[in-house]
Structure 1
């Protein structure tokens, strides 16, 4: 089955499992849970900023850390 036919069948709600090779299936970018302890004032500040932006605290922290890591990666080049 061509990829375009596979995509079309999936988009139309048909079962594509008979055509999927689950032996080689992978979950890219799997998440790993980590715990970080912050002082209360920092949590309060994060919550205010997250509410202002209309996102969760977790989403805000993820975006900020991703941005910092991307900036750092560019500065190392």
Structure 2
């Protein structure tokens, strides 16, 4: 299937998963790297409270908040 056809089907709301090879799928520029960060206890407790409130993990809340902040910084620099 040509890209234009695939994009058109996707844009029309069609389920295009049958056309994807999920085993070979990857997210460019999204490779994972492990980072260790030490936080004060009060900050970990506050993160845990917020994560529980949202029903996500501590790691998820940290990733989302950092990504938001980095995007804001990138947008303000543009």
Is TM more than 0.5 here? yes
Q: Structure 1 pair 30/49, CA: closer, same or farther in 2 (3 Å)? A: same
Q: Structure 1 pair 26/44, CA: closer, same or farther in 2 (3 Å)? A: closer
Are 1:70 and 2:78 counterparts? no
Q: State how far apart, in whole Å, the 2-side matches of 1:34 and 1:67 are.
A: 18
Structure 2: any 5+ residue segments left out of the alignment? 7-17
**1:53 corresponds to:** 54
Root-mean-square deviation (Å): 2.9
Query: What's the TM-score once normalised by structure 1's chain length?
Result: 0.67
Greater radius of gyration (CA): 1
Tell me the number of residue pairs that the alignment of Structure 1 and Structure 2 aligns: 63
Query: What's the TM-score once normalised by structure 2's chain length?
Result: 0.66
